[in-house]
């Protein structure tokens, strides 16, 4: 796979980023592609490793045929690489940009050398396919006469809709927002995933026969009973959109927001008016603190910088990770490592230091007599293992601090799907409040109702959502044909 000696001849080379101080002035994508020669060299680095862990359960959830399309990149067989990639992944233009690439941490070459640039190679294949005009509608050969409703147009719902439509079923996707895409549209900022790319891909689905209904909240605008009566099968792909809160004194002060309130309103205003309508939370001239790390916290950093915040801090309750693998994260598992994402790098360029503060807990939000946020109080934490080897957190006396803040964004993850629709359909929920549906079967406790993605398995990655959508579609197709 690839050039037999490629991993010895060519160094790992990732796509380049635009200058941080330049890119924070706009919301355009900041990645600059490699040349064609450089990309083929990167494909050549894929070694004939015997057991490609990159496409195993440790690596790619959708089982991308990674060594095969790396080899095709190296050999210049770009159309074949596109066909191989599309065989397993409905939306590589999304995962090639936003996936954390567990495939690369499972790469065999990564044991002793820098891993193959799998994620960048994937993005290049699909971007090249769009450029060459290979991404065209594929119309189903025949229709089954069966109708399927998909509730939610995020990556799981769209993947299921694509698969079910290709199987010949009539698919209608219901989305309560004004645009299709769910998390892809309003959860991920434009500089990370340009919305014109999402819209372009959705237009292909429309051309292939998928029906989309926006501005429809199932359970409110459309009774769940009516939906069940009108369709032969229903898929719940609503995501896990109930945010985790931080119930400390002062939480109700003006200026404390959930991260998605900030990110979604910003993207909608950007698309509607280029931020001219003022219908978003503006961080310009504000002292901003983001509580919680991960992708969502990082996106809050990048968005605040683009608004023009005057200071920026990012609190994480966990300790700073190691920069190298530890015994807790042996190869080929996905490790928790200390690394700088785009928002961190931009903050360093703008303010001269990394915004992250580790092992810290917020105890109270502070405000003025107008009910406006002015700051918060924190305490440092100590993490130690108990006699059973489990990590325990304790507060360190005397480490209390007060921080100034005009805006605080809570990026603490999500607790599960919103329950109003689930109760309307009377589906059973698991102990974590997700829809109860066995993996591999995706069937809920209600006949002909299925569930997939974050609504079923809890908050996870876009690539896992796609995998779930594909799996649910397979089971729905079998159900409709039985």
pLDDT in tens, 344-377: 999 999 999 999 999 999 999 999 999 999 999 9
Which has more pLDDT, 381 or 385? 381
Q: What is the pLDDT of residues 439-452, one digit of tens each?
A: 899 999 999 999 99
**How does residue 74 score in pLDDT terms, banded at 50, 70 and 90?**
very high
Average pLDDT, the chain: 96
Task: Report the pLDDT value the prediction gives residue 1, as an integer from 0 to 100.
Answer: 63
Task: Report the pLDDT value the prediction gives residue 286, as an integer from 0 to 100.
Answer: 98
Task: Report the pLDDT value the prediction gives residue 11, as an integer from 0 to 100.
Answer: 97
Per-residue pLDDT, averaged over 173-177, amounts to 98
Per-residue pLDDT, averaged over 244-272, amounts to 98
Which has more pLDDT, 96 or 439? 96
Query: Taking 90 as the threshold, does the pLDDT of residue 3 lie above it?
Result: no
Q: Please say whether the beta carbons of 171 and 150 come within 8 A.
A: yes
Per-residue pLDDT, averaged over 102-114, amounts to 96
Per-residue pLDDT, averaged over 228-232, amounts to 96
Q: What is the pLDDT of residues 31-65, one digit of tens each?
A: 999 999 999 999 999 998 989 999 988 999 999 99
Domains of the chain plus CATH, in order, are 6-132 (1.10.1060.10), 147-241+415-481 (3.50.50.60), 245-412 (3.50.50.60)
């Amino acid at each position: 796979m690839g050039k037999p000696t490629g991993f010895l001849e060519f160094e790992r080379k990732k796509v380049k980023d635009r200058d941080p101080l330049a890119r924070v002035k706009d919301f355009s994508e900041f990645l600059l592609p490699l040349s064609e020669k450089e990309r083929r060299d990167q494909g050549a680095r894929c070694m004939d490793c015997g057991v490609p862990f990159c496409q195993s359960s440790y690596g790619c959830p959708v089982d991308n045929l990674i060594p095969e399309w790396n080899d095709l990149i190296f050999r210049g067989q770009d159309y074949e690489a596109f066909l191989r990639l599309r065989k397993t992944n409905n939306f590589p233009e999304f995962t090639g940009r936003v996936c954390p690439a567990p495939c690369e941490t499972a790469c065999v070459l990564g044991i002793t050398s820098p891993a193959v640039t799998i994620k960048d190679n994937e993005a290049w294949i699909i971007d090249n396919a769009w450029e060459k005009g290979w991404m065209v509608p594929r119309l189903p050969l025949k229709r089954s006469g069966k109708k399927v409703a998909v509730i939610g147009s995020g990556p799981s719902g769209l993947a299921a809709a694509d698969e079910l439509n290709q199987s010949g079923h009539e698919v209608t996707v219901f989305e309560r927002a004004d645009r299709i895409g769910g998390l892809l549209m309003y959860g991920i900022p434009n500089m990370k995933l340009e919305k014109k790319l999402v819209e372009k891909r959705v237009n292909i689905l429309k051309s292939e026969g998928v029906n989309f209904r926006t501005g429809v909240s199932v359970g409110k605008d459309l009774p769940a009973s009516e939906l069940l009566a009108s369709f032969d099968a229903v898929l719940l792909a609503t995501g896990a959109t109930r945010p985790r809160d931080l119930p400390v004194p002062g939480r109700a002060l003006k200026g404390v927001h959930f991260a998605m309130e900030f990110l979604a309103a910003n993207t909608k205003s950007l698309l509607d008016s280029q931020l001219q309508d003022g219908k978003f939370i503006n961080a310009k001239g504000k002292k901003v603190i983001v509580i919680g790390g991960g992708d969502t916290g990082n996106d809050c950093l990048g968005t605040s910088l683009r608004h023009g915040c005057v200071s920026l801090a990012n609190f994480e309750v966990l300790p700073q990770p190691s920069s190298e693998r530890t015994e807790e994260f042996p190869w080929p598992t996905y490790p928790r490592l200390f690394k700088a994402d785009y928002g961190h790098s931009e903050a360093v360029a703008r303010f001269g230091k990394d915004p992250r503060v580790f092992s810290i807990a917020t105890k109270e939000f502070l405000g003025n007599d107008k009910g406006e946020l002015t700051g918060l109080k924190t305490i440092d934490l100590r993490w130690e293992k108990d006699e059973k080897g489990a990590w325990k957190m304790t507060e360190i006396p005397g480490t209390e601090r007060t921080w100034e803040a005009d805006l605080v964004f809570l990026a603490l993850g999500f607790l599960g799907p919103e329950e109003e629709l689930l109760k309307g359909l009377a589906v059973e929920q698991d102990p974590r409040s997700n829809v109860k549906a066995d993996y591999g079967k995706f069937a809920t406790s209600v006949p002909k109702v299925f569930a997939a993605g974050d609504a079923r398995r809890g908050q996870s990655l876009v690539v896992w959502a796609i995998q779930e959508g594909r799996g649910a579609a397979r089971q729905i197709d079998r159900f409709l044909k039985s």
